[in-house]
Amino acid sequence: MKILGIETSADDTGIALIEANGELGQDFRFKVLETALSSQPIHAEYGGIFPAMAKKEHAKNLPILLEQVLKKNQTGIDAIAVTVGPGLEPCLWTGITKAQELSKKWNVPVVPVNHVEGHIFVSLMRYENHDSRFMNREIRMHAFEFPILALLISGGHTELILMKEFGSYEYIGRTRDDAVGEAFDKVARLLGLAYPGGPEISRLAETARQQKLKADFVLPRPMMKEDNYDFSFSGLKTAVERRVATHPLQSLDREKIAREFEDAVADVLTYKTLRAVEEYGVHTLVIGGGVSANMRIRKKFAFWAKESGLALLLPPPEFSTDNGLMIALSGYFHALKKEFADPTKLSANGNLRLNS
């Protein structure tokens, strides 16, 4: 089955075409026939995503990326998978409108996809021993056991989700204020760094570690030991803000603050997630979303997974951010079950939850 995936939930325009077959599990295999992605650097001057501008950029980028993806694969597409939420609704509508247009033109069905589920499924795949683009090579799924615990960390999400079987999800923890990626961006602005803030903070933090620079202060680890699985990063950002307000920022100070902030985030995420792993008897941990590309967070989880025998599934960094492949993969499994939607009744839902 050939599935075209369309992703426009925020500021990345992603298109992917896959050919897949098999049921969920070791029987499943797929090939990436083509993939294309366009980011929007224009938002750097705003320090965050400007929705109206993002919508215009998606409308401009979609035809270009579709031409790239379909150049060698113009026939035989069996279904279109498109993100319908969660995300920025003006952005979601651009992808939905394009899916409606293509569905009518090609007379193929449409699968509405939850963006969060896409991040989960792209993390379940086994990408080792492939080149950086994974083009036209057979890719299979990791061996895993239910229940799966998924940690979704990005600019818009910080969530712990228990997956007992395909299509069955339970939110056991969420952020009560800022998502973790949002906190990275806000702290980066406080330090005078460019948007997006995550890579910039990580760069400075790694420099601090290499030079053995350590802060002479300790930032809070909010809610880390509270008896729940929710998160809060607003107070951590505020602590950095107070530090910056009362101490002149020198170049080395930025690196020390970046290291301490990144360590604080990694400590909170690993402590609460691994406590949930133990409580729910989880053997498989999936981590997805743009912040999962952070090497400090990856290394910390990898260490604890090795110590405990936990199966840790992470996508390659290039597939941790929003992309069309994750939407195509999720869409395939719904298409197998004939879970199609009337294209004329598709709608964007910025707050869409799994199982809804």
Instruction: Give the model's pLDDT for residue 44.
Output: 63
Round to whole Å and give the CA distance between 255 and 252.
Answer: 5
Helix (H) or strand (E) holding 356: none
For the stretch 44-88, pLDDT in tens is 666 667 788 889 999 999 999 999 999 877 779 999 999 999 999
Task: Indicate if 65 and 186 belong to the same structural domain.
Answer: no
182 and 217 inside one domain: yes
Count of domains observed in the chain: 2
**Furthest-apart CA atoms within the chain: distance in Å:** 64
| Domain carrying residue 266 | 148-314
- Render pLDDT for 283-333 as a digit per residue (tens, 0 to 9): 999 999 999 999 999 999 999 999 988 999 999 888 999 999 999 999 999
Q: Has residue 352 been placed in a domain?
A: no
CATH number at residue 120: 3.30.420.40
Query: 43 or 30, which is more confident?
Result: 30
8 A C-beta contact, residue 111 and residue 346: no
Q: Do residues 159 and 249 both lie within one domain?
A: yes
In this structure, is residue 132 part of a structural domain? Answer: no
Query: Tokens for 302?
Result: 């990898």
Question: What is the pTM (predicted TM-score) of this model?
Answer: 0.94
Q: Assess if residue 11 is contained within a domain.
A: yes
In a domain, 171, yes or no: yes
Residues 198 and 288 in one domain: yes
Shared domain check, 202 and 58: no
Which structure tokens are listed for 356?
Answer: 């809804």
Same domain, 99 and 153: no
Residue 143 lies in a domain: no
Residue 292 resides in a domain: yes
In a domain, 64, yes or no: yes
Same domain, 208 and 71: no
φ, ψ of residue 124 to 5 degrees: the values are -80, -10
- Contacts of residues 210-213 at CB distance under 8 Å and 24 or more positions apart, as own/partner, are 211/255, 213/252, 213/255, 213/256, 213/259
Taking a C-beta distance cutoff of 8 angstroms, is the pair 5, 15 a contact?
yes
Q: Are residues 106 and 178 in the same domain?
A: no
Say if residue 233 is in the same domain as residue 122.
no
**What single letter denotes the amino acid at residue 106?**
W
Closest CA to 86 of 117, 107, 55: 117
Whether residues 114 and 222 share a domain: the answer is no
Q: Is the pLDDT of residue 135 over 90?
A: no
- What's the DSSP call for residue 43? G
pLDDT of residue 355: 82
- Give the whole-angstrom CA distance, residue 171 versus residue 261: 26
The C-alpha angle with vertex 36 and arms to 292 and 298, in degrees rounded to 5, equals 10
pLDDT per position as a tens digit, 254-290:
999 999 999 999 999 999 999 999 999 999 999 999 9
CA distance linking residue 94 with residue 87, whole number of Å: 12
**Mean per-residue pLDDT over the chain, rounded:** 92
One domain, residues 99 and 180: no
Q: Do residues 172 and 162 lie in contact, with contact meaning Cβ atoms separated by under 8 Å?
A: yes
Are residues 28 and 110 part of one domain? yes
Q: Is residue 170 part of a domain?
A: yes
Per-residue model confidence as pLDDT tens digits over 10-32: 889 999 999 999 998 889 999 99
